[in-house]
Amino acid sequence: MRILESPTSAQSRRRARRHPEAATIFVEGDGNAESLRVLAGIVRLVRHTEDGRRCVLDFRFPGQVFGRSADDHLLTAEAATDCLIESVEDAEERGELEADTSLLDRVTCLAVRLACCSATERVAQFLLEVHERLAADSVFTLPLSRQDVADHLGIRSETLCRCLAHLAREGMIATRSGQVVEIHDPAALHAAAHEGRRRACRSGGAGADIGQ
C-alpha cells in the first residue's frame, strides 16, 4: 500500500503514530481535544448519522492539521488510508505548521456544492481541488476508494464512475487503474465544474447578477 508523504515527513518520524487503513483516530464528541497533523496518508472527517448513513465532510492530506479546536471534534476522524499522524505540538516545535483553513469554511463550501451543483460539477470540482491541495503534477495518485469520494460528494459510487467516465470521454481527464488520475485539460475541467451558470441566477431575482 502506497502512502502519500509530506516532504518533511522523513526527518520527523520520531513520535508519529501509525494508524492502519479504516482505523478510527478520534470519535465525534469525545472530550479529548487533541490536535493532530498528517505526516503521511489521508484522513477523512466523517459523520455517521443515527440511521447508519455516512457523510465524509472533509479529507486531510499530508502536512494538514485536524482536530485543532473543540469544534473540530464534532466530527469523527478516520484513516482513509494507512496514516502517519503526529501531534501538532511536534510540528509546531519544528515550525512546520501551515496556516490551516477553517473547517467551517471547508464544510460551508461543501454544503454549497451539495445544494447547488450537479454530480458532474461536484466531481470536477473535487478533482481540481484535490489536485491543488496536493500541489500535484497533472498526473497524480489519489489513494481514496470510490466509496469515500462518493460519500464526500453526496452521490453513489456508480454515479461517480459515470461522471469520471464522462469527463474522460470528453478528454478532460484520464483515469489509469482507478487511483491514478491525469488532468488533461484543466480549463475545460474548470468549466465543467461551473456549468450551472444558466440554471443559476434566477434564485435571487433581484440582488445577484453575474456580469462576468
Partner DNA sequence: CGCGTACTTGATATATGTCAAGGCATGTGG
Partner DNA sequence: CCACATGCCTTGACATATATCAAGTACGCG
177 binds, among DNA, its own copies, none (CB under 5 to 8 A by kind): DNA
CB of 162 to its own copies, least distance (A): 18
Cα–Cα distance list, 204 to 170, 195, 208, 211 (Å): 32, 18, 6, 14
CB of 35 to DNA, least distance (A): 30
Helix (H) or strand (E) holding 19: strand 17-19
Q: How far apart are CA 69 and CA 12, in angstroms?
A: 24
Q: Is the distance from CB of 84 to CB of 58 less than 8 angstroms?
A: no
Q: Does 1 bind its own copies (CB under 8 A)?
A: no
User: Across-strand partners of 85?
Assistant: 17, 38
Nearer to DNA, 154 or 186 (CB): 154
CB of 151 to DNA, least distance (A): 11
Q: Is the distance from CB of 36 to CB of 67 less than 8 angstroms?
A: yes
Please work out, in degrees rounded to the nearest 5, the angle formed at the alpha carbon of residue 131 by the alpha carbons of 82 and 162: 85
Task: Identify the residue among 108, 135, 138, 178 touching its own copies (CB under 8 A).
Answer: 108
- Cα end-to-end distance, the chain, whole Å: 45
Q: Does 104 bind its own copies (CB under 8 A)?
A: yes
Nearer to its own copies, 22 or 135 (CB): 22
Residue with the three cell numbers 491543488? 132
Task: Identify the residue among 34, 109, 145, 186 touching DNA (CB under 7 A).
Answer: 145
Region 54-83 residues binding its own copies, contact defined as CB under 8 A: 54-55, 57, 71, 74-75
The H helix count followed by the E strand count for the chain is: 7, 11
Nearer to DNA, 15 or 169 (CB): 169
The residues of the shown chain that bind its own copies, judged by CB under 8 A, are 22, 47-55, 57, 71, 74-75, 102-105, 107-108, 110-112, 114-116, 147, 151, 153-154, 194, 196-197, 200-201, 203-210, 212
The residues of the shown chain that bind DNA, judged by CB under 7 A, are 1, 118-120, 145-147, 154-162, 164-165, 175, 177-178, 199, 205
